[in-house]
Structure 1
Amino acid sequence: MKRKLLGVIDATTFHDDLEELLMHRSLAALPFGGRYRMIDFVLSNMVNSGIRSVAIFPKLQCRSLMDHLGSGKNWDLNRKRDGLFFFPSPINDRTPNRVGSFDHFAANLDYFYRSTQEYSIIANCYTVFNFNFRPLLEWHMHSGCDITEIRHQDGSSMEMYLIKTSLLIKLIETRNETGYTCMKDVVSNIHHDYSICHYNYSGYATMIDSIQSYFSTSMELLKPDIWRQVFLKEQPILTKVKDEPPTKYIKGSSVKHAMIANGCIINGMVENSIIARGVTIGKGAVIKNSIIMQKCQIEEDCILDSVILDKDVKVEAGTHLKGTPHSPFVIRKGTKQGALMNS
């Protein structure tokens, strides 16, 4: 029992530099890698680490996130005991870079009171990584630390914290007296008596906090050495399962160095790109260095280079769109791009 972990995922963060992609969804529900959502990575890591009770604290637009996660069945979290829990925030303001808001936790304190897990892992929802939390728990227990902060190899915080559940409850209950608003406040304060330790994570990990980091990290997935570090057979990244037919490649089409999800129809050229489910690419179209989200329609003879198309975008025949790796061209969800623009 002592070695059991409670999973707590803060899904409230909003990054202004990602606003173009967060108009209709939370950051946790942002599509990534053709068939995943951002939250899939930390949630899968928790499940693969043996965590059977996970609380998700969403805010802003959480309908897309709740639709994606459902009952938690795809992560084996649809359980009679423990399982997946949603606790929407009663706070309406945007609070970027404030993982683990004690006010948000306080509004759902009964959940922590009822939990039987002695330790809690508090994590953000926007890190691409594959990490088993079990060795971290063992390290934390042997170190005698009160709180362990996970850090990158370069020493920067990954905004993930391991703490005894009883201490977490105490910090929540005394927040008004101490002035601590979140976990970051606690670990950065040198005037308390808690022992703060740092655990350096040596694997691949990238935090998505801007359009540029979203684009560059997506392109990194096309590198075999990076892909192998993120998608491990023994620790799979789980996601919502959709029953769709295989992608159809029309005679004359060309695909090089790309990730193509199910249900697409490819009748043009795709190179160094990520294509999500149900995308249609017309004859003569050329897609390079781009991210095309679910159910986009790209008509004949279009040329797209360094472009991000959000879901359900239609690009009219003959349209040319070009961005750069540092400033990709972003088209919002459900809009039309071409001679007659409806965005």
Structure 2
Amino acid sequence: MKKSMLGVIDATMLPGEMGELAAHRSPAAIPFAGRYRLIDFVLSNMVNSDIQSVAIFPRSPYRSLMDHLGSGKDWDLNRKRDGLFFFPAPAKEGQFSRLAEHLDYFNRSDQKYVLLSNCTTIANMDFAPALDRFINEKCDILEIVHKGESAHIYLLSLGLLLDLIKNRNETGYQSVQNVVEDSSSSLTKCQYEFEGFLKRIKSVGDYYQTSMQLLEKDKWSELFNEFQPIYTKVKDEPPTNYLAGSYVTNAMIANGCIIEGEVNHSIVFRAVTVGKNSTVKNSIVMQKSKIGQNCILEHVILDKDVSIEDGAVLRGTPDNPLVIKKGSVERAVANS
């Protein structure tokens, strides 16, 4: 399948849809599952499907996303030919209008087909069977679905994509989704049902619920396996240090942490400190956050570099987790 598909990741999801988690970063760059970013999943799926040229169209702010992906080395996309490309999207309405700003890239591509995806679908998927169906059924556009709902991932020929972009003003179509949803279109539209674990992260609630599901062994095993690895930016850090008095149950804890309190049914990212007699339950704690002594956190999402001072109590609910913004300091007087 090499050289047959061009990967396009539309990372122009509005940051406001992800609340405080996307206040200073693209939704594609939101940390997830202890050591990954949301974009790692669709990007790794493309690489594992032998896609060798991937174009990412991010909306500002995208510094964090570019810092994470770099040259694409960790995904084997730092190539002399093809590889990873960034095309910051202009502030225009409509997917086709944004892609139109970079027609030269598409015109120079020698791939026959385009796999166009959003940036926040969490799955471990081989796109080869979808391409086989697309070709065998002579589809114009193939939509990947999960349990009958669109994953907002589409396959179409490069020629058709160029036609849709160039003729957008005449047809009124502003995105591939518009075409798929138009029942009067003369194009042949097919579906490919993906049966594995798949979640599309569209809100803080989606992010929290999906993260908690990964603490279930069967869900984790569906998403992470040795045959189709999920790649991410490599960081070398020491093992986590579990001090006397620490107690951990059903938790995902990354490298470089210092745990002296209790962590239960939670996800803890790299280089986090949990102080003595503190309890972290049903929560997500991102990289380099520091939790002091005698704290209680329940149904909380701490963004990166948050400091929780001794004695603070922070509680959200399963349906409305409390989000603490990046770099903030929470004191005991701010109990909730």
Query: Under a length normalisation based on structure 1, what TM-score does the superposition of the two structures give?
Result: 0.95
The reply on whether 1:110 has 2:109 as its aligned counterpart is no
The residue type paired with residue 140 of structure 2 is D
| Corresponding position of 1:49 | 49
| Corresponding position of 2:141 | 147
Segments of 5+ residues of structure 2 without an aligned counterpart are none
The reply on whether 1:300 has 2:308 as its aligned counterpart is no
| Corresponding position of 1:240 | 233
Shift of 1:175: 0.8
Identity %: 55
| Corresponding position of 2:312 | 319
Shift of 1:191: 2.7
The reply on whether 1:68 has 2:61 as its aligned counterpart is no
Do 1:2 and 1:117's aligned partners in 2 also have CA atoms closer than 8 Å? no
> 78-87 vs 188-197, which deviates more?
188-197
Instruction: Provide the C-alpha distance between the structure 1 equivalents of 2:155 and 2:15, rounded to a whole number of angstroms.
Output: 24
Query: Under a length normalisation based on structure 2, what TM-score does the superposition of the two structures give?
Result: 0.97
The residue type paired with residue 303 of structure 1 is I
The residue type paired with residue 256 of structure 2 is G
- Secondary structure, in 3 states, of the residue corresponding to 1:242? coil
Paired residues for 1:26-175 under 5 Å:
26-91=26-91, 101-153=95-147, 155-175=148-168
Do 1:15 and 1:210's aligned partners in 2 also have CA atoms closer than 8 Å? no
Give CA-to-partner distance per residue, 1:219-242, whole Å, 9 cap, x none: 000000000000011000100000
Instruction: Provide the C-alpha distance between the structure 1 equivalents of 2:2 and 2:259, rounded to a whole number of angstroms.
Output: 52
Instruction: Provide the C-alpha distance between the structure 2 equivalents of 1:82 and 1:28, rounded to a whole number of angstroms.
Output: 22
- Secondary structure, in 3 states, of the residue corresponding to 2:192? strand
Do 1:149 and 1:162's aligned partners in 2 also have CA atoms closer than 8 Å? yes
Shift of 1:30: 0.5
Instruction: Provide the C-alpha distance between the structure 1 equivalents of 2:84 and 2:217, rounded to a whole number of angstroms.
Output: 33
Shift of 1:15: 5.8
Instruction: Provide the C-alpha distance between the structure 2 equivalents of 1:328 and 1:201, rounded to a whole number of angstroms.
Output: 29
Do 1:123 and 1:160's aligned partners in 2 also have CA atoms closer than 8 Å? yes
Give CA-to-partner distance per residue, 1:276-310, whole Å, 9 cap, x none: 01101111111111000010000001011111000
Do 1:266 and 1:280's aligned partners in 2 also have CA atoms closer than 8 Å? yes
- Secondary structure, in 3 states, of the residue corresponding to 1:108? helix
Do 2:2 and 2:50's aligned partners in 1 also have CA atoms closer than 8 Å? no
Do 1:293 and 1:312's aligned partners in 2 also have CA atoms closer than 8 Å? yes
Instruction: Provide the C-alpha distance between the structure 2 equivalents of 1:331 and 1:43, rounded to a whole number of angstroms.
Output: 28
Do 2:140 and 2:188's aligned partners in 1 also have CA atoms closer than 8 Å? yes
